[in-house]
Structure 1
Amino acid sequence: MIALLLFAAALVADPAVPSPPAPATETATAPPAIADDDIREYAAVAGRKVAGRPVGGPYATADKLLLLGRDGKGYPVVAASLGFPARQSLPAPPGGTLAVVRLHQKSETVVPGPTADDLAFVAANKLPLFVIGEWARPAPMWEVAWVDDDVRFRMIGEVGEIGPWQE
């Protein structure tokens, strides 16, 4: 019996015996350029709940940002919520972010909609961006996405109806 234990210990300690191969690691996949339906619906609900609430922190006129991801069970969640200076371009989001919701306090364009910075963010990151205007009630919402090798946006209605893609 002791000999058997010594033999087993020698096998474990012997570097000449190959160890079993490690399981294959999952390859990281990029998030889709157009948000999944559940992410779009979650962005509409979570984003419009935040519309009109004050932003705490050092920025007097801050945009609100919600970074959306999925929890361990695959459900959409707000992975991070923060205030961001309104006149700054958004940096690349951290890994695992599936979409970003940006709430603008006031309209910076002649025709309400996504700003040039919003369009540039999507072009650089190929990540869906939801823009919500806090200047009106009900708060208007647009989805900005990378579609057919170009940045396009569309209106998302108050009850989730989706408009046509625009350039």
Structure 2
Amino acid sequence: MIAWLLFAAALAADPAPAPAPPTTAAVAPIADTDVREFVAISARKVAGRPVGGPIASADKVLLIARDDKGFPVIAISTGFPARQSLPAPPPNIVAVVRLRQRYDTPVPGPSASDLAFVTAHRLPLFVIGEWLRPAPMWEVAWVDDAVRFRSIGDVGEIGPWQD
């Protein structure tokens, strides 16, 4: 929570205008194809880069929004404690990306806190594993009144939904 507040304060001090809100009324619980492909290519470029700051074991978190022309952009990029659940994102965010340094599940994939985030906010979450190259990626979404996830390939190709 403190990380979001610090970042929001930094954004408020920046004179650059914020991206215009999307014209749609609500965020889709499953990411649009252009958002998925943007994350698959752009967010994986962040994998393996160090996180600066006082948190020794931080995950990288990217908040994805749409610019004034409707294209996906990284609106916020920050470090976040690896063992902490993500807070509710600010308005106008269409997806969240969490780059994890290590996996903490018996089989690599989304953690229980990742699934709980999507359950609570009905917002697409992409989890990228930094422990392997090429970095594995999963999309977690609210599908058919349940949280499901699927693997995403190097350029956005999708696997089947899993429970």
Q: So what's the TM-score if we normalise by structure 2? A: 0.85
Runs of at least 5 residues in structure 2 that lack an aligned partner in the other structure: 1-22
Residues 59-108 of structure 1: per-residue CA shift (max 9 Å, x gap): 00100000000001111100000000000000000000000000000011
Matched, 1:103 2:103: no
What residue identity is the alignment partner of 2:26?
A
Matched, 1:71 2:70: no
Runs of at least 5 residues in structure 1 that lack an aligned partner in the other structure: 1-26
Q: Percent of pairs identical after alignment? A: 71
- In the TM superposition, 1:7-46 aligns within 5 A as 29-46=25-42
How far 1:28 moved relative to its partner? 7.0
State the match for 2:8 in structure 1: none
- In the TM superposition, 1:82-101 aligns within 5 A as 82-101=78-97
Instruction: Identify which of structures 1 and 2 has the higher relative contact order when contacts are C-alpha pairs closer than 8 Å and 6+ apart.
Output: 2
Structure ID, larger Rg:
1
RMSD of the TM alignment (CA)? Answer: 1.4
> Is the contact made by 2:41 and 2:155 (CA closer than 8 Å) also made in structure 1?
no
Aligned residues: 142
Residues 115-159 of structure 1: per-residue CA shift (max 9 Å, x gap): 000000000000000000000000000000000000000000123
Q: So what's the TM-score if we normalise by structure 1? A: 0.83
Residues 37-57 of structure 1: per-residue CA shift (max 9 Å, x gap): 000001111210000000001
Which runs of at least 4 in structure 1 moved beyond 4 Å after TM superposition? none
